[in-house]
Each structure stands twice: as structure tokens, then as C-alpha cells.
Amino acid sequence: MTKIVSAINKENATKEALSQLTKSNTVAIPTETVYGLAADATNGIAIAKIFQQKNRPSFNPLICHVDGIKMAMQFGKINDVTKKLINTFWPGPLTLVVPLLENSKAHDLVTAGLGTIGLRCPNGFSREIIEKFGKPLAAPSANRSGRISPTSASHVATEFEHLDLLIIDDGPCSVGLESTILKVDGEVLTLLRSGGISKQHIEEIAGISVLFPEENSAVANKILAPGMMVSHYAPNADVKLNCDTCDDNAAWLGFGEQTVKTTHSLNLSETGDLVEAGSNLYAYMKVLDKTGCETICVAPIPMRDLGIAINDRLSRAAAPKNVQ
């Protein structure tokens, strides 16, 4: 059963939200754009739950919500142009995709293994929750995959009536449309999604013209939907899927009870828990790839719940690398 808690009693709503977040659970939070399904951006299990609950068939990158520039600077590289935009538009409906800081604590599932991170400081009560939590919240819109974004607490409740989910109700969203997404690459600005803040207004403040993705060859067909590329987040090693045994000299990425004999082997989840497996996927692929093995053999992952997103990502990792 979903539980709706009003933000009128801020102290109580904050307490309830923090209690769920620290238990690695998701919470539906109000923002000025749409309601978000939020979780601790540094916690893989919590983030995997977002994908599972939304029934998202692939691991697209998530926007990382911060309480201001100071927190943003612990996760992304903020140059002078970015700073100008932040000073004008935050808190507000502008997401800035910037280079990821090397030692950022954002979980790989938030960035989808890309070298960039989407940062946004929402206006209103959710900003206060992030401030108290002291860590960013990753949050896509709080709807099941392929459905319309919710702009009220009751929309969220209808979407997730089958779940034990805390929903913080702060009334209808004032913008009602998702945030504008702008990629900042040095002095090159590219509009990845139009939204609450206009292209013209951004150009005025930045003093630089903003490109559409098709005008920027470094971005065209890539960044808009990074998860859609056939070969995406591919390790150096070849990846072989649905294996029952491990090839000689290959590394093994297991799932469930089955064990194999090989020098390098990791298990996504010994108990067969898809949420745990999803949260370990990127990190384990990186570890196995670093061993310098030629092939990573992967055990079959069931095609249900979060397994669909895990298999989607694995099949991209296994695809021939020259195909985009």
C-alpha cells in the first residue's frame, strides 16, 4: 500500500522521508516539474529499486538532485559557464549534464557508466529533504515506464498502488513539465531536452549560443538516449551471454547458486536477487575487465522484473563494438 504524507507538517514529512532513504528505499518526492521516484544516489541497491519499481527495461542515466552548488561540486566538474547558469537558474527546472568528477561517490547505475552526470537542484520541499539527507537523490519521474509523468501525489499513488511506497504530498507541481536538460562540454552547450527553462534564456545568461543535438557531432545520436546505442558501456573483453560453463582463461560473472572453476569469478547475487544483481552489474563488469581477461562469460539472468534491464545492458555490452 502506498502511504501519502503531507508536506504541510514539514518536520514529520522530512523524518518519514529520511527514514525510508536511510533504509535504501525509494520515496516519491514533489518537485516543481513533476513528482520524482527518489533514492540515495550513492547506494546501488536503492538505485536498482528505482529501475525495478518503474519497470524500466534498460538502465538509462538518472538525474542526480542536489541541494545547491556545493553538493553539485562533489559530483560533477563545474566550470565558469556552468556556475553562471547555476547562479541564475537554481533552484529550478534546469538539469546540467557535466563531466563526472573522478572520485565522485555517485553510483554507476546513476550515470549508466558514462563519464558525465546530470545535476539539478529542485525548487521547494524536495530541496530541503536533500539538504537534511546530506547526499544527492537520484530521481526519474515517478511513473511506471512508458506512462505519463505524475504532477500530483494522487497520480503517483495510482501508478504504484501495488507498492509499499512513501509519497510526500506538496500539492500539484507548478511547472508540470520535466526540466530542461543542457549538456555543458567546456564552452559548448547542447540542448538535450527542452523544458521549463527556454533556450533563449540560457543563451542570454551564458552569452553563448546553444546547439541542438543534431548541430553537435559529438552529441548527435549519442547522448540523447545513451541507453539506446547497440554497443554501449562495452568492456574491453568480449562478453558471452547465457553461459552454463566458463571458457578456459575467461572470467565468470555468475548469478545464483551455480559455481564454476576459474581464476577470476564474481557473483552478481548468490541468492538470485535481481535488485542486488542490478546494483552490482557495472562495478563487477569493470572489476572483471580490469583482470585483462579476453572474455567474460555471464550466467543466464532470468528475463523478469529487473532482469529485463540487466539483460538489456548485458546484450549491449556483448554487441560488436563497431555498431552504434
> Would you count residue 309 as binding ligand TXA (CB under 6 A)?
no
Query: How far apart, in whole angstroms, are the C-alpha atoms of residue 233 and residue 315?
Result: 10
Q: Phi, psi (5° rounding) for residue 144?
A: -70, 150
Beta strands 251-254 and 210-211, pairing class: unpaired
> Would you count residue 180 as binding Mg ion (CB under 5 A)?
no
Alpha helices in the chain (DSSP H): 10-22, 44-54, 69-72, 80-89, 108-111, 125-133, 153-159, 199-206, 274-290, 307-318
Cβ count within 10 A of residue 318 = 18
Query: How far apart, in whole angstroms, are the C-alpha atoms of residue 273 and residue 209?
Result: 48
- Which among Mg ion, ligand TXA, none contacts residue 95 (Cβ within 5 to 8 A by kind)? ligand TXA
With CB under 6 A as the contact rule, the residue among 71, 94, 223, 301 that binds ligand TXA is: 223
> Would you count residue 278 as binding ligand TXA (CB under 6 A)?
no
From the list 41-49, 61-69, 201-209, 258-266, the region that binds ligand TXA by CB under 6 A is 61-69
Query: How far apart, in whole angstroms, are the C-alpha atoms of residue 258 and residue 270?
Result: 8
With CB under 6 A as the contact rule, the residue among 53, 179, 190, 216 that binds ligand TXA is: 179
> Would you count residue 267 as binding ligand TXA (CB under 6 A)?
no
From the list 133-141, 194-202, 212-220, 224-232, the region that binds Mg ion by CB under 5 A is 133-141
Rounded least distance, CB 119 to ligand TXA, Å: 9
Rounded least distance, CB 179 to Mg ion, Å: 11
Place of cell 503531507: 6
CA distances from 207 to 92, 169, 214 (A): 20, 38, 21
> Would you count residue 95 as binding Mg ion (CB under 5 A)?
no
Binding footprint of Mg ion on the chain (CB under 5 A):
141
Binding footprint of ligand TXA on the chain (CB under 6 A):
31, 33-34, 36, 60-63, 93, 95, 97, 111, 114, 116-118, 120, 122, 139-141, 178-179, 181, 192, 223, 226
